Amino acid sequence: MNNQHIINNLPYQKPFLFVDKIIEIDENGVKGAYTYKENEFFYKGHFKDKPITPGVILTETMAQIGVVCLGVFLLKDEITATKKPKIALTSNQVDFYLPVLPNEKVNVISEKVYFRFNKLSCKVKMMNTQNQLVCRGTISGMLIV
């Protein structure tokens, strides 16, 4: 399964797909990127005349790249045209350090903590293009095909 096939098997679509590309992936983790375009739906009201990316969207981006992309990769032998992955977030704990502005690109780096009984838990961090830590935490989810 190549990286574009992983993205194509994610259960998201625009405007709620926050994965531009997977840079590298293996059974222990993933690195991917996303650029928040200035016309994203959530900037219209967050914050008035000075938009920043909401923390919930940063968390969602980390979950999509750091947990769901890795989960699809780990379940690749079970995924078919008719059997798609089903995903549910089970827990997250994220600390935020820097804002992310419109048109800013971020890299998400995830390290698998464990994958057992269809639960995947990862340590995930987000870095900006200056290699500064934006946020980090632990995100877990259930994945089944």
- At 18, which CATH number? 3.10.129.10
Measured between alpha carbons, how far is 86 from 68 in angstroms, rounded to an integer?
A: 10
Measured between alpha carbons, how far is 72 from 12 in angstroms, rounded to an integer?
A: 13
Domain count, the chain: 1
Kindly state the average pLDDT of the residues 126-138: 98
* Res. 1: pLDDT tops 80: no
The DSSP bridge partners found for residue 144 are: 86
The DSSP bridge partners found for residue 74 are: none
* Res. 46: pLDDT tops 90: no
Q: Going by C-beta distance under 8 Å and a sequence separation of 6 or more, which residues neighbour residue 98?
A: 128, 132, 133, 134, 135
Active site residue 5: no
> Catalytic: which of 3, 12, 35, 46?
46
pTM confidence score: 0.96
Kindly state the average pLDDT of the residues 105-131: 97
Query: Which domain does 62 fall in, by range?
Result: 3-144
